[in-house]
Structure 1
Amino acid sequence: MGELLADYTTFRLGGPADQLLTHHDPDGWPDTVRAAGERPFILGGGSNILAADAGYRGTVIRMATRGITAHPVGTDTIEVTVQAGEPLSELVTYCVAEGLSGVEYLGGIPGTVGAAPVQNAGAYGQQIADHLTHVTAYDWTSRQLTHLDTDQCGFRYRSSRFKTEPGRWTILTVTLRLTRSRRAAPVAYSHLARALDVPLGARPPLAEAAAGVIADRRARGLTLPTTGPDVRQAGSIFMNPPVTAPQAAAVRAAGGPVHQDPDGVTRASAGWLLEHCGYTRGLHVEPGVACSSRRVLTLTARNGATASSVTAALQRMAGDVAQATGIELRHEPVLLHGPTMTA
């Protein structure tokens, strides 16, 4: 049998893959494609994956290419090309050190740069799509390399064509166009403004803003811990769900927050909905599975956890919210099982 997927996911769960290939060398991609054969599953940092206990009956390619290159394209505009296996946190650190604004609010988000466009990773009013110009990707349907410009990526709130066409694309590089500046983008979130002690719309120093984001995420349990009971997790387990006007009114009447996402869709807070249904920090939901000690929107794997028990917890929590409010929650982690995957 192959290597355990548990060794490559932050839940630390999952059986063996039939074949697990690690792609290190950007120039070696044709060799990786030949070794993979049929369409594989692509694994980045494993921070958004729940692999089945029985493993995966197929090939998994782990993207481990690293590297960041930059060149000017204008007086104060820099184009940065990043290898898919580069951790997103390392890209943020690099850009802040180089005085490049555009991704400073994405610090502390786990995973790789190649995975960021799939989910259109974002935080504090900034998302990866905002400054992305194009990606280089391999199309497993045509078996060809291609460049996809921003308008070809189908970006939406926490989604893209890479997510809605699962398995078709492997992102190899991501290119961003950033601005040379000592100042961060305007602060758009109230709690970040309070954390930085600046008014909304202010542009604090770049390094100060980036450090404030990390501190705020850590204080709210939004970073992956390295020790303690919450270390085995995949971050937020549900996306903030879209709601109808009557549902939004009901949530507001019950004291819950409602907001509009960048696409103009009205959404409720998934964390508030779970709390409204009786979920609390540290609550044991299924055998070996508990809400994080910091927030109910994060599930953690404890002793005795299995992928099946995590899946059962996801189903129970979503079912309780649907029964109580009529609002459907959609899970964030990709469920990897058999020869298929479920987003």
Structure 2
Amino acid sequence: PLSKHTMMHIGGCAKKFVYAHDDEQLANALADAQSENDRVFILGAGSNLLVSDDGFDGVVVKMADDSVEWTPQDDGYMLVTIGAGALFDEIVATACEKNCGGIECMSGIPGTLGGAIVQNIGAYGQEISEVFVSAQAMHKQSLETVTLTPQDLAFAYRTTALKTPDNPYVVLRATLRLPPFVAEDAVRRCIERNFARMVAQPPKTATELRHIVLKTRRSKGMCYDTDDFNTHSVGSFFVNPILSEKEAQRHNAANIIRNHKSMPMFPAENGMKLSAAWLIEQSDFTRGFIHKGAALSAYHTLAIVNRSDASCADVLELAQLIVKGVFKRFHITLSPEVVYLGKTGIEQLPISLPK
């Protein structure tokens, strides 16, 4: 069952499951699927994946190339080319040991390099798009290998052109360009992100800042722990809503009248970003809220977890309750961040999103 290959430990069986350790194995798997007229799903670490209880009627290809090549540049930057199956946090750890910047605030994010690119992962003011140079990818039908640029990927908040259901490419490897770590920037980031209260001394190295980030993520249950079901999630189940500044201020004014306090909001590229976790909590969903086998994490309301034997249906029902509750309270619709794999492939999460 695919439940063995996702961090939520949920999901039925695939018709076929294969590993691709290199480009040739991937090409063979794709060619075999074509000859059998089978659907294909490309799997990384399953860290942002919710699988249907009915499983997937097709071939799941697990990307397993974890090769890494580090190339120092004359300008102090570091080029690193990474196989799609490499665990992203291991790359971050090594980058920090080399005192590279650019990705240290993404420490502790589970998943593979391939998934990191597709999702445009980010945390605490950093995004993979900021250090991305290029990716090699294989066309699922022609099996040709192409080079994808940042323009090709059309990076946006927690998404790319590769995240669409009709995306024809599989990421093979990607090259990142990491700047040298700058302590002054790290101190500023600590102040902006409220990390300063967690340490006696500001970070002087990338590794020190990584440890601060990991401590923060663990306090929120956002670092996977085999023995703690509160971490058996897809991370943030919903994205933080981004509203126009005018719309955000209108919602904030209404909330001040209703609750006598301001809504937390932060400047974003296209307006103001609201806190999905805060919206959920203010809609009477507390940490540890239980619905059948699913629950909200005891650490963070933005994570839906598998308490022990939750079904996909349990998770979907809880997600639906939350979306309806937040909309009823604030007239704001939360959008899922999770990737949903249904019987026939990647689908929209089967819940109703009020408008």
TM-score, reference length from structure 1: 0.91
Equivalent residue for 2:14, pick from 1, 14, 17: 17
User: 1:211: how far off?
Assistant: 1.1
- Identify the match of residue 259 of structure 1 among 266, 287, 306: 266
**1:7 to partner: Cα distance:** 0.6
Point out the more displaced range, 150-159 or 23-32.
Answer: 23-32
Which one of the candidate residues 323, 327, 343 is aligned to 1:318?
323
Structure 1 partner of 2:311: 306
Higher helix share: 2
Using the TM superposition, give the Cα deviation of residue 35 of structure 1 relative to its aligned residue in structure 2, in angstroms: 2.7
Could you tell me which residue of structure 2 aligns to residue 30 of structure 1? 27
Give secondary structure in 1 for the equivalent of 2:328: helix
Q: 1:328 to 1:54 in 2, by over 3 A?
A: same
RMSD (CA atoms): 2.1
Size of the alignment, in residue pairs? 335
State the 1:73 CA deviation.
3.6
**1:182 Cα deviation after fit:** 6.9
Q: Contact 1:102–1:184 at 8 Å: present in 2 too?
A: no
Work out whether 1:195 is the aligned partner of 2:195: no
Indicate how the Cα distance of structure 1 residues 317 and 106 shifts in structure 2: closer, same or farther if over 3 A, else same: same
Deviates more, 1:172-181 or 1:137-146: 137-146
Q: CA deviation at 1:143?
A: 3.7
User: Within 1, Cα distance between the matches of 2:275 and 2:142?
Assistant: 40
Shift in alpha-carbon separation, 1:196–1:142, aligned structure 2, 3 A: farther
User: Are the structure 2 counterparts of residues 96 and 30 from structure 1 closer, same or farther at C-alpha, using a change threshold of 3 Å?
Assistant: same
Q: Secondary structure at the match of 2:230?
A: coil
Corresponding position of 1:294 = 299
Q: Tell me whether 1:269 sits opposite 2:266 in the alignment.
A: no
* Cα drift, residue 99 of structure 1: 2.5
The match for 2:353 is none
Q: Does 1:173 align with 2:176?
A: no
Q: What fraction of aligned residue pairs are identical, expressed as a percent?
A: 29
Contact 1:287 1:304 survives alignment (8 Å): no
1:278 aligns with 2:279: no
SS at 2:113 equivalent: coil
Unpaired stretches in structure 1, ≥5 consecutive residues: none
Cα-to-partner distance string for 1:139-195 (whole Å, 9 max, x where unaligned): 225542110112221011111111135542211101011234474854433312333
Contact 2:30/2:140 (8 A) holds in 1: no
After superposition, what is the alpha-carbon deviation per residue over 1:296-320, rounded to whole angstroms, capped at 9, x for unaligned?
1111112441001111111111111
Deviations 1:119-157 (A, max 9, x none): 111111111111110011122255421101122210111
Q: Which residue of the partner structure matches residue 125 of structure 1?
A: 125
- Matched AA of 2:332: I
Alignment of 1:111-122 (within 5 A): 111-122=111-122
CA distance in 1 between counterparts of 2:167 and 2:13 reads: 19
CA–CA distance in 1 between the matches of 2:272 and 2:143?
39
CA deviation map 1:46-85 (0-9, x unaligned)? 0111111111011111112111102234231221000001
Q: Which residue of 2 aligns with 1:235?
A: 235
Tell me the residue number matched to 1:337: 342
Paired with 1:112 and 1:248, the residues of 2 have a C-alpha distance of 38
Contact 2:99–2:205, Cα closer than 8 Å, also in 1: no
What secondary structure does 1:19 align onto? strand
TM-score (norm: length of structure 2): 0.88
Change (3 A) 1:298 1:143: same
In structure 2, C-alpha distance between the alignment counterparts of 1:184 and 1:226, rounded to whole Å: 36
CA distance in 1, matches of 2:124, 2:195: 8
Deviation at 1:16, TM superposition (A): 0.5
